[in-house]
Amino acid sequence: MTTSLETRWPSLPYVLPFVVFIVFLGLQQYSPLPVTIDYPLRVIILAIVLWAFSRDVIDLRCVQPIGTILLGIAVFAIWVAPDILFPAYRQSSLFQNSIFGQINKKVPDAVLTSQVVLWSRIVRATLIVPILEELFWRGWLMRWIISPRFRDVKLGTYAPTAFWVTAALFASEHGSYWDVGLIAGVAYNWWMVRTKSLGDCILAHAVTNGCLCWYVVATKHWEYWN
């Protein structure tokens, strides 16, 4: 089924999981389900979508695992550094406004009390999101901007417009954290150009998100999860 769908709509395996993810984020506050059911259910649905539609284009092989892990840790450090070094840094209207939204430091009580919810967030951030986002941003969009016949464009092909548009859109996805999101987008794009490897970008993204999960749980800076 996946192969026939990919033949008819080649973008589908790269785009659909990301679209489902974004829809879930947009509708999260309207869900009638308790978070103890809602959070794990979303993780399960995303995993099913990835398996059903994208398994043929997911490549987890890494060509530079040590460098990839180090890059993921570096991006995490860059992500949290401004708020550690300058606690009032993100209160500026440059980051919190009608376009990028407001930072919400309050977390649902269930996250604090339910291991199911907590681990659902961790699994989604470290295992699901890196795959679906790298499929979309680096696996598809960077190539599609170069040519709508993106499958004819090799992974990691550098073109200035594709590189910077992808980085800027990746930054915009992260709302009030657009500045560090831009740096992360540039770093991941650069790593894709350097390694030509979707697996390396997935691993780097997973390491960043895994470190961020550890930081959030350890320091109670829940705003990174909202």
pLDDT in tens, 37-82: 999 999 999 999 999 999 999 999 999 999 999 999 999 999 999 9
- Per-residue pLDDT at 59: 96
Tokens at 24, concatenated = 């879930």
- Per-residue pLDDT at 225: 83
Could you give the number of structural domains in the chain? 1
Residue 10 DSSP one-character state: T
Helix-helix angle 115-123:198-219, to 10 degrees? 150
Indicate whether 210 belongs to any domain: yes
Average pLDDT of the segment spanning 199-217: 97
Indicate whether 182 belongs to any domain: yes
- Per-residue pLDDT at 4: 61
Q: Note whether 222 and 111 are within 8 A (CB).
A: yes
Indicate whether 12 belongs to any domain: no
Indicate whether 126 belongs to any domain: yes
**Does the reported pTM lie above 0.85?**
yes
- Per-residue pLDDT at 222: 87
Give the lowest-confidence range in 42-46, 99-103, 186-190, 213-217: 99-103
Assess whether pLDDT exceeds 90 at residue 169: yes
Mean pLDDT of the chain, nearest integer: 93
State how far Cα 15 lies from the chain centre: 13
Residue matched to tokens 């417009």: 161
Indicate whether 90 belongs to any domain: yes
| Alpha-carbon gap, residue 9 to 103, rounded angstroms | 37
Q: Note whether 144 and 11 are within 8 A (CB).
A: yes
Give the lowest-confidence range in 24-38, 98-112, 157-171, 198-212: 98-112
Closest Cα partner for 38 from 48, 46, 28, 47? Answer: 28
Closest Cα partner for 131 from 73, 55, 35? Answer: 55
Assess whether pLDDT exceeds 90 at residue 155: yes
Tokens at 53, concatenated = 């539609």
Domain that includes residue 197, residue range: 59-225
Indicate whether 17 belongs to any domain: no
| Alpha-carbon gap, residue 30 to 32, rounded angstroms | 6
Half-sphere exposure of 225 (CA within 13 A, CB side): 28
Q: Note whether 197 and 205 are within 8 A (CB).
A: no
Indicate whether 3 belongs to any domain: no
Residue predicted with more confidence, 139 or 29: 139
- Per-residue pLDDT at 3: 58
Sign of CA dihedral 53, 187, 205, 42: negative
Indicate whether 51 belongs to any domain: no
Give the lowest-confidence range in 7-16, 125-134, 182-191: 7-16
- Per-residue pLDDT at 113: 78
User: Residue 51 — φ and ψ, nearest 5°?
Assistant: -70, -45
Tokens at 156, concatenated = 């990691």
* Beta bridge mates, 101: 97
- Per-residue pLDDT at 8: 78
